[in-house]
Amino acid sequence: MFGGAPAASRSYSNAKGDIIEVSITGDAAMIMQFGPMLTNPAMAGAMDKLVRVGDQRAIQNQDGDIMMLVANKFLINVQGSADAASKLSYAQAIDIAKLSKM
């Protein structure tokens, strides 16, 4: 999707069969296009719901999927069939401070 950008993803499932996929993509030119959209509260709020993941601003859509930009370098997506609260919990489990220092 991001043309050769470094990326990592992992899928998780629970006993009910709900799935959450966490993906982190870094240093891609396309990520820079998301920057203004994700860092501008007016633009981000117009897209979907603004949520906080630690001290990081993120966007959560109607399905509960979360997208956030960390240090203008990493695009994090948390998506899947689980409920919105579960997706937010997984996003909060990411060590954003450590990722920001990379």
Q: Specify whether the CB–CB gap between 20 and 80 falls below 8 A.
A: yes
What pLDDT does residue 30 have?
63
Q: pLDDT tens digit string along 38-55?
A: 666 666 666 678 888 988
The string of DSSP letters for 25-62 reads EES-HHHHHHHHHHH-HHHHHHHSEEEEETTEEEEE-T
State the pTM of this model: 0.82
Residues (pLDDT < 50) of the chain are 1-2
